[in-house]
Amino acid sequence: MDRVALRGLKARGHHGVFPREREEGQTFIVDLVLGLDTRPAAADDDLAKTVHYGIVAEEVVAVVQGEPVDLVETLAERIAQVCLKHEVVQQVEVCVHKPDAPITVPFDDVTVTITRSRV
Question: Which residues participate in catalysis according to the annotation?
Answer: 98
64: Cα within 13 Å, side-chain hemisphere: 24
d(CA 75, CA 25): 14
Alpha-carbon separation of residue 74 from 69, 96, 103 (angstroms): 7, 10, 19
